[in-house]
Chain A
Amino acid sequence: MTKTNDREFDTWREQWSSVADPPGEFQRKVQQRIKRQERRFVLGNILTAILFLGMLIFAWFMRHQSTWMGPGWATGIWVLVLVAAGCRVWVLRQTWRPQTQSTRSFVELWHKRVTARLRLLQISIYLSLGWIISCAVLTAANWRTIGQDVKVHPTEWVVVLVLCVLMQYPLLWYGVGWLRHRKLAELNEVEKILGEMQD
């Protein structure tokens, strides 16, 4: 064991040791926080199950709607529920906890994760653009059928347009843009830390 015994360092160590003790209620607060987190986890799972079930029931009723859009809505919701359920399982799975690794491994993995998240965001932007274009192309190609339905049920089509075009995309893009900005700032910090480590 290598130990530095010079006076200067010992003085620093003495000063450092007297810096702070954890607050008196530290342990109780941590226990409370653990309980709160566990309760939140259980409640989150129950709410998610209720939400998924509700959406599936809603989709089931939509399927029997007389309009042309009913089955479309139902299919969309079913796919959304399946994807969301898959994502939740993926997030909740027992993964390797990088926090227990050495600082170097942790920072390197952190860098990889931030880079991957940024790449995913980039891909999602391209995918959403591709989705809009393919929807427009499909609508144009099937305009004869869709046009008739629009004439019969104009209000419902207006609702779809408002939901998809005016709300969904700007919100989605704003969200992606905000997340990308945050991740870029995080990447900058991680690269700074990596640089310090390699000095």
Chain B
Amino acid sequence: MNYADSVTDRFAGQVKIVSEHRQVLETQFARILSEYGAAISRLAFSYEAVASVREELVQEIALAIWQALAHFRGDCSERTFVYRIAHNRGLTHVGRRRPLHQPLEELEESEQPVDPRPHLEEQVARTDQRAQLMSAIQCLPVTHRQMIVLALEGLSHTEIAEVMGITENNVAVRLTRIRKALKDALGGRT
């Protein structure tokens, strides 16, 4: 085998490794999207009230996850990794364009999934309560919004502390305060 053949073989080997690595990443990415897609979508709700812009934000979050995936070394759990990226991307969105705090009646109801319950009145009431909760969350200061969203997504205090970079005690104290603020904003309607 001459030198040129050896170089060609080595190059072909490198290409194969890169392509295999990409396939692994693509599979992992598809799994992450199907597993956390709904959560990312909900999270985007807390940062953006306008549906078209929100869809854009969801895609940007997914893109950011894809870009960071190759560098993920398992220093934290995959869930923490995804939520960190999603929230940090949301923060950048807020920093560059302050969200429009739309009045309740302007929230697009057509965007809400239909609740498969038989009674129309009950369904309307539930949609209304959901819209009120969303509106109240969107009116919270951005870091409070982050924390309550993570708690609503079912993350433990340890995981929230990992995502936010604060202590667990701090998380507990702040969550109590945020819940009180949220309750006041909702006026005890839930």
Residue ranges of A at the interface with B (Cβ–Cβ < 8 Å): 1-4, 8-9, 11-13, 15-23, 26-27, 29-30, 33-34, 37, 97-107, 110, 186, 189-190, 193, 196-197
Contact = CB atoms under 8 A, between A and B. Distances in A.
Interface residues of B, number: 66
Contact of B41 (A1, A12, A22, A99): A22
Nearest to A96: B71
B139 interface: no
20 contacts: A1-B157, A4-B175, A19-B41, A20-B41, A20-B45, A21-B38, A26-B58, A27-B34, A34-B63, A34-B66, A99-B84, A99-B89, A100-B72, A102-B163, A102-B164, A104-B164, A104-B166, A106-B88, A189-B94, A193-B94
A8 B189 CA distance: 10
Q: Which 3 A-B pairs have the closest CB atoms?
A: A102-B165, A104-B165, A1-B156
Given A2-B172, A3-B156, A20 B37 contact: no
B151 interface: yes
Contact of B30 (A9, A27, A33, A102): A27
A103 B58 CA distance: 18
Contacts of B143: 103, 193, 196-197
A174 B143 CA distance: 35
A105 B76 CA distance: 15
A76 to B, nearest CB: 35
Given A103-B164, A193-B95, A196-B142, A19 B156 contact: no
